Amino acid sequence: MHEITCYTMKKNISDIKTRFTFDGGIKRTNVFFVAIAEAFLFVLSILKETFSRDFEYKEFFRQCFQIGYKTLPLISITGIIIGFVITIQSRPVLIKFGAVTMLPGMVAVSLIREMGPVITALICAGKIGSGMGAELGSMRVSEQIDAMEVSATNPVKFLVVTRVWAATLMIPLLILYADALGIIGGWAGANIKGNVSFVLFFSQAFGHVIFMDLFPAIVKSFFFGAIIGLVGCYKGYTAGRGTESVGKAANSAVVVSSLLVIIVDMIAVQITDLL
């Protein structure tokens, strides 16, 4: 097999496609395997470029700023509303069971284990994934990626590696931030019909949270971040030449990364359940 670099990746993909240009059902079946092979080579080239020399730190920090800081307003509003809504919806049920004192703990556990990571990841898939798909797709269409290549700059290293790692590191932080704001939203929700102090709500909330609630959630958050970064970049980087493909890249980045987030969440829940 050829050396896997960004320069040879396209050639490898082209070779695979050439080998599988049969007619009929075989072609359709092989399209799936070609797509898997393309994605595999893409991930492989990212891993290789991550550990090669001259990491693009400046672009990496710029992307961390774009992904982290610029998503904060959306995540802040969403986080508070999630906590608020969970509290409002759960309170009558807990009152019915005489367990209203469990409300802060229930809000905290459900936010940290499930609601915070999944909802934040889905929002990030919409905002960050589509942004990456559209940006790289339009760079492909307007030959900016080609311009980088002929400037002896590795576009996978500069554009993709930095974005994927920025998403992998920033999305877990956004999820923790959304969890914290969700608990504040929960406290606000609890005070609409009740009267509970902020300190009491927080101490009751974290009194029910154990390490095994937090740890699997943080681990799966990194996977969510990686999925959103990888899918967004892959869809944009491999976009076709027409302007229509920019829209398709952005759209499929959101659809595929959202679907993968849900699937990975399901697997993570099963694994956590076994622990």
Positions that interact with other proteins (CB under 8 A) = 3, 5-8, 10-11, 14, 21, 135, 138-139, 142-144, 146-147, 149-154
- Least distance (Å) between residue 1 CB and other proteins: 14
Residue closer to other proteins by CB (options 69, 198) is 69
Concatenated DSSP letters of 101-153: GGHHHHHHHHIIIIIHHHHHHHHHIIIIIHHHHHHHHHHHHTTHHHHHHHTT-
Q: Hunting for tokens 């398709």 — which residue is that?
A: 248
- Least distance (Å) between residue 17 CB and other proteins: 9
Residue closer to other proteins by CB (options 156, 256) is 156
State how far the Cα of 250 lies from the Cα of 130, in Å rounded to an integer: 4
- Least distance (Å) between residue 171 CB and other proteins: 21
Look up residue 68 and give its two tokens: 């982290």
Residue closer to other proteins by CB (options 221, 245) is 245
Concatenated DSSP letters of 5-51: SHHHHHHHHHHHHHHT--SHHHHHHHHHHHHHHHHHHHHHHHHHHHT
Residue closer to other proteins by CB (options 17, 208) is 17
- Least distance (Å) between residue 170 CB and other proteins: 18
